Amino acid sequence: MTIIVHHLENSRSQRILWMLEELGLPYEIKRYERNKQTMLAPPELKQVHPLGKSPMIEDTEAGAGRVIVETGAIVEYLVEKADGKFGPLAHRDSVLRYRQFLHYAEGSMMPPLLLLLVLGRIPLFGKRALKRVQPMVDVHLDYVESELAQRPWFAGDEITAADIMMSFPLEAARSRGGLDESRPATIAWLAKIHARPAYQAALAKGGPYAYA
């Protein structure tokens, strides 16, 4: 095995397992469970990297101690390692969409979804604040729906790493962010990725995942 995935349950790291399955790259999993009270990552992850966050990968083929963090950086690294597979498509507009959604997933869409999660755990005040955050999420859900209504995948006619990056925020939105059948193109896209053999293989290897 050349790639070790430090995989935290119910986290962004599920995307990395899926991508590795799609790319056919050899890997092994070190799985971690969240603290049942705080839902935070365990301290053992800090032994791998000071941030103690998942996902992170170690590429043992590239030399001892090469640890890569941040989902987007890991995804881009894996595209390069697989000689461009799942990378940007040839058409200029597709390239621009690829770059945009690769960064949009974490840079713009995840922050309000995380707010929903945190506020949902705060009695009384949190419930009032949720009413102000949900419209922010809805703006993103409407935007995503308008994009997926135009093409089968986020960058164009073929699946790319941009779709892998977008999977977690949209799965989270389906679970707790108000994404439902009123946005049929997005729901169809989720069903399509969940049906992929590589996605199913990643689920089988990664353990229980609440958002699939």
Q: What is the pLDDT of residues 31-86, one digit of tens each?
A: 999 988 888 899 999 999 999 999 999 998 766 668 999 999 999 999 999 999 99
Strand-strand pairing, 3-8 and 27-32: parallel
In this prediction, residue 35 carries a pLDDT of 87
Q: 3-86+198-206: what CATH class?
A: alpha beta
CA-based torsion, 207, 55, 169, 195: positive or negative: negative
> Is residue 108 predicted with pLDDT exceeding 70?
yes
Are 27 and 2 a contacting pair, CB within 8 Å? yes
Across the range 168-197, mean pLDDT stands at 97
- So what's the architecture of 92-197 in CATH? Up-down Bundle (1.20)
- The domain limits of the chain are 3-86+198-206, 92-197
Q: What is the mean pLDDT of residues 157-179?
A: 96
Residue 5: beta bridge partners?
29, 57
Residues sharing a CB contact under 8 Å with residue 72, sequence separation 6 or more, in sequence order: 102, 103, 105, 106, 165
